[in-house]
Structure 1
Amino acid sequence: MSEASASPVTTARTGNKSVRVIGIIIAVLGVIFLVAGVVTYTIVSQTLADQKITVSDDADRFAGKDVKGPFTAYAQADIINQHATEIAGGKTYAELPQDDPNRATVMNASFLQASLFTSVVAFGVAAFVAVMGVILMLLGWALIKVAKPV
């Protein structure tokens, strides 16, 4: 009878140790994700700030603010689109005739808008990775707590 009762205790200890190790691994991954997300967000923000872009004064939101975050980047991309649409008479770059004198301006506006939208996406991905890092850290912490010997 002592053998039967010893076996579950040994299995429980081994199981707890495995859960604890998995918890530690998940928590460490969480820290890595959090750091990677914050570093990426900071690099994208600093890179935009180095360009010294200011949101156009006629923008609906953030007029006159420096472009260094997702909201100001989106606002500037939006106003660039409005300006390009006015210049092109409501047409897109692809719709303009090849001999239209405004085609190059609309093309540049399209490239600038796409670049700003890319930075908005980069901010979003960086924030997502950072939040996932926090979630993984909490999950790892919970597994470590569950695995503690009683």
Structure 2
Amino acid sequence: MLPISDILIRSISGYVFIIPVLILYFFIRKKSGRKQSIFHIIAVFVFCYYLFGILTVTGIGYTSTISFRPQISIIPFCGMISEPIDTILNLVLFVPLGFFLPLLYKKYQHIKNVILTGFLFSLSIEIVQMFGWGQQI
């Protein structure tokens, strides 16, 4: 696990590049006549920072070598029982996703859409980690 100071530095430095993109996005939306509340704009910036934080904590993009190292378990969910703290941390890591999605986007007003998105996002991180990018948490 990365130290908290390293996580903050990496996520802030990566987030710096997305700020101009978000500003341009909101400028284009305003030009097209779509009104945005200041709360929505701030929430989108915080949500993007949260997404960068997830990618930083999982270590995606910071591994210099790519190697296929799948960890296949014959007993399903064995790691969840033997290392419950990792399971709890994984769950806590994705809790804000369940709050942000319905808050920001109408498409995610139904719980099944939020659960499906959270599952697919988590699965994609696990698959990327299986190919040697990032660290397994």
TM-score range, shorter chain: 0.3 to 0.5
**Structure richer in helix, relative to its length:** 1
TM-score relative to the length of structure 1: 0.31
Task: Work out which structure has the larger RCO, using CA pairs closer than 8 Å and 6 or more positions apart in sequence.
Answer: 1
- Kindly name which structure, 1 or 2, has the bigger radius of gyration based on alpha carbons: 1
